[in-house]
Amino acid sequence: MMFLSEVWFSLEGAPQWVKGVSQIFPLTHILTAARKIMHDGAGLMDISVEITILTLMTLAFLTLGAVMFSWNK
């Protein structure tokens, strides 16, 4: 995840499919929001897209975990 989330280097020259795969990781969206805040002085409204994506991912994974969880295994 850290390899494809642009933690250490940019994916500027990477193939389009690699850039697409990197979008499935939450860390990509966290880093995008953090960079907007640190470099551009963005506020909450400016990072609302990233917050929405992270909220939807959180809800999806919590729902999936709750459905898959069982005390009787």
Amino acid at 13: G
- Between CA 70 and CA 45 the distance in angstroms is 39
Residue 73: predicted pLDDT: 66
For residue 67, pLDDT beyond 70: yes
Task: Return the structure tokens found at 58.
Answer: 């959180």
What digits encode the pLDDT tens for the residues 24-66? 999 999 999 999 999 999 999 999 999 999 999 999 999 999 9
- Between CA 32 and CA 50 the distance in angstroms is 8
